[in-house]
Amino acid sequence: MPHGRDAAGGRSGASRRPDGAYPGRGVDGGGAELEETGYAGLTLERVAERSGVHVATLYRRWRNVEGLVVDLLGELGKTEIPIPDTGSFETDLRTLALEIAALYQNPRHRALIEGVIAAALRSPEASDAWAAVMAERNRLASRIVERAVQRGELPPETDGIAVINAVGAPFYYRMLVVRGQVDDALAETAGATVHAGALSGAFTRKPTTAP
């Protein structure tokens, strides 16, 4: 069968959706290619070869690999991390940290994060997409802190977003800076450290002073 053709829909028909977009096989192929070669080796030509979608179709859809990474990030955004609600802030925080670790222990998810960060340095679209995904995840996860404040476990002015950012930061440092493996031990340390800091008031909002 010629490259990018199928019996039902003609050239790249299987990759089309009713709205005219082409994520389907192209996104799947892009994710697999990113996992195997990393962002530095990612090209739309290689994705076309892997997915069976004509390369011209991929260029019409994404223009460049940064556009493909943005769509791949949308797929990651659909991967839900359950927000724990155990009745204990310490247990909720530990559980959340372990769930984050499990997400980034998946080789494809880790490769995508590394690719998104690289793409964000070159593409405002990729940077904005990454910021939007993280903002929504942090907003949802900050419910852990809100509930802990309501139960009286934390100071009233505890900044939930700051707490969640502090939980996530060690994972990105491990992956992107020291290039190490994400494991459950890292999650346990992150959860325990942030828990202690939150109890001490380290994440309380400071009153602003007029100039």
> Strand pairing partners for 158?
204
Per-residue CA distances from 108 to 70, 85, 155, 204 (Å): 15, 28, 38, 36
Domain ranges for the chain, please list them: 5-63, 76-199
Burial group, residue 12, by CB count within 10 angstroms (0-12, 13-18, 19+) = buried
pLDDT band at 79, cuts 50/70/90? low
Among 27-31, 76-80, 141-145, which stretch is predicted with the lowest mean pLDDT?
76-80
Q: Please tell me whether the overall predicted TM-score, pTM, comes out greater than 0.85 for this model.
A: no
- pLDDT at residue 209, as a whole number: 56
Average of pLDDT values for 43-68?
81
Predicted confidence (pLDDT) at residue 94 exceeds the cutoff of 80: yes
| Architecture of domain 76-199 in this structure | Orthogonal Bundle (1.10)
- pLDDT at residue 84, as a whole number: 94
Distance CA 117, CA 120 (A): 5
Q: Which CATH superfamily is domain 5-63 in?
A: Homeodomain-like (1.10.10.60)
Predicted confidence (pLDDT) at residue 98 exceeds the cutoff of 90: yes
Which pairs count as long-range contacts for 5-11, CB under 8 Å and 24+ apart, including other chains? 11/54, 11/57
| Spatial CA neighbour of 190 closest among 90, 117, 113 | 90
Length of the chain in residues, anyone? 211
- pLDDT at residue 19, as a whole number: 33
Predicted confidence (pLDDT) at residue 180 exceeds the cutoff of 80: yes
Tell me what percent of the residues of the chain surpass a pLDDT of 70. 83
Distance CA 120, CA 69 (A): 9
Distance CA 138, CA 133 (A): 9
89: left (phi over 0), alpha (psi -120 to 50) or beta: alpha
pLDDT band at 17, cuts 50/70/90? very low
Residue 79 vs residue 20, higher pLDDT: 79
